[in-house]
């Protein structure tokens, strides 16, 4: 076989990496290249350097070192039994690509993952080698995200965190049964064990830095994980519960939900039809409710239907408000922050603005209009100086009044 | 502020600032005007580049002088920070808005906390738009490399900001690309960094910037490959990357085609994931299977022109023995296990007391996969995908024969029964329960024994024989 060009291999190995949803480059330590020999900076907020027509942010060069893999996970395009084209990069080639893209301001850094070749530890060593060359030989100060291979030696996982801003290990599927069926070579225990190792290393490094300023940083942007939605029978309620456990147990920065996507040469075990993308969106919304709006996992689960699924036509916050109407309307001039955060249509920013503004004067409906996107949506749920939704909140058809007119429109392009 | 309104105000003052982003100039003059008690509707603000210049020539350019000892105006830090951003906006009313806010702050010191106030809201909005423009410049600006006369590389970008953010944004690029030599060209002005100091230059035109860079081909290929056609969300892309930025982004030229072909690509993916046997009806008897596999073309092996080899044995055999695939001899004779490995198997089965006549003999893959080497046909292992495809036939045989015990010889056979790849050495010599209630035993393939030499072969053959004896014993238990 003739040797593939860098261009061909980039195509294969980027294509193989695109099913990983994460591309974040935020939340790491501030750095810049002043006084250094190389290039790169991170300033807290990540930057999306482009958006693909799938609406996803392109922040990092997201590729696999190789898509050869000894594992045979059914949902994965790179599984051993797939007929996909194979390719590999050397660590130096990945370094060169990363720097060439970074210098032209295409990317914030590198997100490197890999199929498993030879052994898990060998593969992990190769990933670390890329990060080492970037950091040690080129003094690269941009963002590095390394996917960690759970079966690798914990010692290697610890080394990855010294070079990387973020490390992640995918739990892959929301239920252990799903994992056993669809990823026969992986074990839930091993994945969680590795996440535990990373968490311990992060905590330990933070602790060391409170005592010694020179102690090395370990994955300053924390760890994240990804779950595939719609490939197994797990309901939204299962997924929400699982995500909340993961946040609690492993202090994760993010749980990513990736709607199972049809892949070329899919395994026959998988469902043919993918779940609607809106389902993934609703899961992210419920994730937000738990992380920023003070909803308990049980409260999000209260709005799921008998099969444990979130409504697709309205967002979970609105669904909750419609179900617990006795909690509304909320008085914008008196209600505590927690109650305001539950009003559909009021975001964290609007709530903060209301709290600051009402110290000055009593707020009227006009004031609220200036702070929100859609007054029509919030109006039935709140009381202002000149407004009281006496009839609206009790109306049986409130849902039709506040729900988006045509939910199918969101799916217009993907039918 | 309309001209009409100004003409009715003969005592208006006109303040001309040094540059469109001249925050210090505005602050100094605004402070002075507040001290002189000049209300907001008596001031016209003007900066270079704004269309207002000279329209209000009747305004008084001589500004009042504050009385000695006049109190310093009050302004919160929050306001000054906001004002700094608002100054950079392209809205010609921005300086008036800021002066009005400063004026009102004197009576209402906590005005800035009232986000629901119209002026505060407007200032917030402008500041947000400026922040977004700054952010988008950091995101969407693209450098192209050129060689300078000295032979050194310089990275040059052309960008068209919407607001007056060039100077405010310089620090970011200095901090990030400290060790590079770069220039940023815009219609508002230019920045040049040589690794040590930053120079400002006059406005530039697009033609001043380089027209291409070979690395852009790689970048475009990356952009096209990272896009998943199965999840088209054009609205989400446009919200964050509006069309106005596209003309200066090399990858954006690909978008129309990626969008246009996405649906067809998704359909192809879904189709290829469809089971090969989706519409096939299960064969009613074993003869049907024999006929149908001969015509099966669902995988490359089926298309290689060889004859399929059907299973053989009693139709309700309690034992089913599954090999990998027919070999050279089997393909010629049309019977399973008649080549060298088959002969070895047969003699071991006899030694173990297993009655061959009572077993259903078959293979995980029905056709012979080989590469021609001279006159010989060299055996090739089937891929996992090929085994998985052919599994439908093995399943059909199992449904008809309904064996109590299945003996899988080698890893390919094990995959054909379990649907996953297992290590034979780890899984051998013990029973595995199958979903239909049959018991699966795994051992090595006899052809493996044939490849070993001397002691290794003797050892493996002994283990193989032991496995067969165990299976014979277990079969007797199951059928008694």
* Whether the Cβ atoms of residue A377 and residue A344 lie closer than 8 Å to each other: yes
pLDDT value of position A318 = 92
Residue B281 lies in a domain: no
pLDDT value of position A9 = 96
pLDDT value of position B51 = 54
pLDDT value of position A410 = 43
List chain A residues with pLDDT less than 70.
1-2, 264-273, 391-397, 401, 404-415
Where do we find the tokens 């051993």? Answer: A80
Task: Determine phi and psi for A58, rounding to 5 degrees.
Answer: -110, 100
Quick one: B436 and B325 in the same domain? yes
Contacts for B100 with CB less than 8 Å, ≥ 6 apart: B40, B119
* Residues of A with Cβ-Cβ distance to B213 under 8 angstroms: 104
pLDDT value of position B308 = 93
Quick one: B305 and B453 in the same domain? yes
Quick one: B186 and B250 in the same domain? no
pLDDT value of position B49 = 67
Quick one: B354 and B475 in the same domain? yes
CA B367/CA B389 separation, integer angstroms: 12
Residue B229 lies in a domain: yes
Quick one: B196 and B224 in the same domain? no
Quick one: B8 and B109 in the same domain? yes
Residue B439 lies in a domain: yes
Strand-pairing partners, residue B408, are B322, B442
Residue B294 lies in a domain: yes
pLDDT value of position B419 = 82
State the residue range of the domain holding B177: 141-208
List chain B residues with pLDDT less than 70.
1-11, 49-61, 272-275
State the sign of the Cα–Cα–Cα–Cα dihedral B471, B474, B479, B480: positive
Question: For chain B, what is the domain count?
Answer: 4
pLDDT value of position B2 = 47
* Residues of B with Cβ-Cβ distance to A45 under 8 angstroms: 135
Quick one: B91 and B110 in the same domain? yes
Where do we find the tokens 């609205």? Answer: B235
- DSSP structural state of residue A4: P
Quick one: B400 and B445 in the same domain? yes
CA A339/CA B400 separation, integer angstroms: 65
Residue B279 lies in a domain: no
Pick among A54, A113, A363 to test the B interface (most B CBs inside 10 A)? A54
Q: What is the pLDDT of residues A281-340, one digit of tens each?
A: 899 999 999 999 999 999 999 999 999 999 999 999 999 998 998 888 999 999 999 999
The strand pair at B432-433 and B405-409 is best described as unpaired
Q: Which listed CATH number (2.60.120.20, 3.40.50.720, 3.20.20.70, 3.60.15.10) goes with A6-266? A: 3.20.20.70
Structure tokens given for B374? 């001279």
Q: Domain map of chain A by residue range?
A: 6-266, 316-414
DSSP conformation letters of B148-210: -TTS-EEEEEE---SSS-HHHHHHHHHHHSTTS-EEEEETTEEEEE-SS-EEEE----GGGS-
Residue where one domain finishes, among candidates B208, B237, B255 = B208
pLDDT value of position A409 = 41
pLDDT value of position A266 = 66
Quick one: B358 and B427 in the same domain? yes
Contacts for B89 with CB less than 8 Å, ≥ 6 apart: B126, B127, B129, B130, B163, B164
Q: What is the pLDDT of residues A24-61, one digit of tens each?
A: 888 888 899 988 899 999 987 899 999 999 999 999 99
Residue where one domain finishes, among candidates B135, B156, B180 = B135
* Whether the Cβ atoms of residue B421 and residue B415 lie closer than 8 Å to each other: yes
A271 to chain B, any CB pair closer than 8 A? The answer is no
Structure tokens given for A178? 């799903």
Task: Find the residue in A nearest to B255 (Cα).
Answer: A53
Tell me the longest C-alpha to C-alpha distance in chain A.
Answer: 77
pLDDT value of position A73 = 84
Residue A410 C-beta-side C-alpha neighbours within 13 Å: 15
Note whether B226 contacts A274, CB cutoff 8 Å.
no
CA A252/CA A244 separation, integer angstroms: 10
CA B188/CA B201 separation, integer angstroms: 9
CA B344/CA B330 separation, integer angstroms: 14
- CB nearest to A105's CB, from B143, B251, B259: B143
Residue where one domain finishes, among candidates B135, B167, B194 = B135
Quick one: B172 and B317 in the same domain? no
Quick one: B131 and B188 in the same domain? no
Contacts for B85 with CB less than 8 Å, ≥ 6 apart: B126, B127, B130, B131
Task: Find the residue in B nearest to A39 (Cα).
Answer: B177
CA A9/CA A64 separation, integer angstroms: 10
To the nearest whole Å, the CA of A111 is away from the closest chain B CA by 12
Note whether A33 contacts B176, CB cutoff 8 Å.
yes
* Residues of B with Cβ-Cβ distance to A270 under 8 angstroms: 273
Quick one: B348 and B457 in the same domain? yes
Residue B280 lies in a domain: no
């Amino acid at each position: 076989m003739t040797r593939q060009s860098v261009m061909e291999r980039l195509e294969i190995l980027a294509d193989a990496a695109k099913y990983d949803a994460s591309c974040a480059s935020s939340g790491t330590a501030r750095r810049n290249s002043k006084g250094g020999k190389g290039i790169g900076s991170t300033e807290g907020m990540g930057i999306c350097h482009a958006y693909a027509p799938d609406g996803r942010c392109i922040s990092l060069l997201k590729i696999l070192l190789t898509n050869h893999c000894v594992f045979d996970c059914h949902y994965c395009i790179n599984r051993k039994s797939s007929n996909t084209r194979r390719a590999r990069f050397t660590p130096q080639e990945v370094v060169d690509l990363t720097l060439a893209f970074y210098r032209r301001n295409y990317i914030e850094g590198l997100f490197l993952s890999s199929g498993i070749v030879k052994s898990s530890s060998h593969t992990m060593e190769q990933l670390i080698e890329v990060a080492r060359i970037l950091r040690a030989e080129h003094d690269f100060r941009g963002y590095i995200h390394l996917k960690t291979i759970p079966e690798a030696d914990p010692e290697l996982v610890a080394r990855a965190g010294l070079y990387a801003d973020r490390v992640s290990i995918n739990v892959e599927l929301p239920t252990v049964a799903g994992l056993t069926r669809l990823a026969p070579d992986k074990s839930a225990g091993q994945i969680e064990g590795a996440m535990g190792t990373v968490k311990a290393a992060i905590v330990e490094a933070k602790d060391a830095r409170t005592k010694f300023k020179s102690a090395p940083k370990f994955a300053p942007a924390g760890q994240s994980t990804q779950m595939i939605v719609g490939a197994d029978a797990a309901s939204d309620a299962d997924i929400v519960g699982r995500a909340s456990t993961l946040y609690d147990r492993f202090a994760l920065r993010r749980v990513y939900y990736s709607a199972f996507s049809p892949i070329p040469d899919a395994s026959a075990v998988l469902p043919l039809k993918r779940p609607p993308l809106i389902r993934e969106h609703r899961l992210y919304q419920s994730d937000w409710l738990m992380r920023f709006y003070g909803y308990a996992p049980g409260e999000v689960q209260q709005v799921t239907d008998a099969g444990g699924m979130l409504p697709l036509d309205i967002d979970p916050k609105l669904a909750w408000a419609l179900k617990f109407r006795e909690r509304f309307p909320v008085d914008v001039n008196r209600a505590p922050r927690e109650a305001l955060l539950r009003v559909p249509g009021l975001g964290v920013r609007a709530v903060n603005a209301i709290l600051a503004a009402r110290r000055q004067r009593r707020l009227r409906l006009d004031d609220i209009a200036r702070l929100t996107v859609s007054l029509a949506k919030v109006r039935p749920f709140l009381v202002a100086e000149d407004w009281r939704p006496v009839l609206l909140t009790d109306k049986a058809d409130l849902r039709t009044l506040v729900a988006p007119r045509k939910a199918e429109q969101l799916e217009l392009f993907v039918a | 502020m309309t001209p009409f309104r100004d003409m009715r105000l003969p005592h208006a003052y006109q303040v001309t600032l040094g540059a469109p982003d001249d925050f210090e100039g505005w602050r100094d003059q605004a402070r002075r005007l507040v001290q002189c008690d000049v209300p907001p509707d008596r001031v016209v603000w003007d900066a270079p580049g704004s269309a207002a210049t000279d329209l209000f020539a009747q305004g008084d350019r001589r500004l009042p002088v504050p009385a000695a000892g006049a109190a310093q105006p009050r302004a919160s830090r929050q306001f000054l920070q906001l004002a700094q951003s608002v100054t950079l906006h392209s809205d010609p009313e921005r300086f008036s808005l800021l002066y009005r806010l400063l004026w009102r702050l004197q009576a209402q010191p906590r005005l800035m906390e009232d986000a629901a106030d119209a002026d505060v809201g407007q200032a917030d909005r402008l500041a947000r738009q400026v922040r977004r423009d700054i952010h988008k410049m950091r995101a969407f600006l693209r450098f192209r490399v050129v060689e300078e006369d000295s032979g050194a590389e310089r990275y040059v970008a052309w960008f068209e900001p919407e607001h007056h953010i060039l100077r405010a944004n310089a620090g970011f690029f200095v901090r990030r690309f400290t060790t590079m030599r770069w220039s940023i060209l815009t219609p508002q002005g230019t920045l040049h960094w040589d690794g040590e100091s930053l120079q400002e230059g006059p406005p530039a035109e697009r033609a001043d910037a380089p027209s291409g860079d070979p690395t852009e081909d790689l970048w475009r290929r990356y952009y096209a490959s990272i896009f998943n056609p199965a999840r088209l969300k054009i609205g989400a892309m446009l919200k964050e990357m509006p069309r106005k930025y596209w003309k200066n982004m090399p990858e954006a030229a690909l978008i129309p085609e990626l969008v246009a072909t996405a649906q067809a690509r998704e359909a192809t993916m879904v189709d290829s994931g469809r089971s090969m046997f989706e519409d096939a009806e299960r064969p009613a008897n074993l003869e049907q299977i024999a006929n149908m596999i001969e015509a099966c073309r669902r995988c490359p092996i089926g298309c290689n022109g060889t004859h399929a080899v059907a299973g053989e044995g009693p139709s309700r055999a309690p034992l089913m023995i599954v090999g990998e695939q027919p070999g050279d001899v089997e393909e010629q004779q049309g019977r399973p296990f008649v080549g060298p490995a088959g002969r070895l198997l047969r003699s071991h089965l006899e030694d173990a007391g297993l009655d061959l006549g009572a077993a259903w003999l078959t293979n995980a893959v029905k056709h012979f996969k080989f590469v021609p080497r001279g006159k010989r046909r060299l055996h090739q292992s089937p891929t996992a995908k090929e085994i998985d495809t052919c599994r439908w036939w093995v399943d059909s045989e199992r449904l008809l024969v309904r064996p109590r015990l299945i003996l899988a010889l080698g890893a390919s056979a094990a995959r054909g029964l379990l649907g996953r790849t297992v290590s034979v050495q780890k899984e051998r010599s013990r029973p595995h329960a199958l979903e239909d209630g049959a018991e699966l035993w795994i051992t090595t393939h006899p052809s493996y024994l044939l490849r070993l030499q001397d002691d290794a072969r003797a050892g493996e053959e002994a283990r193989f024989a032991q496995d067969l004896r165990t299976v014979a014993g277990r079969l007797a238990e199951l059928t008694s």
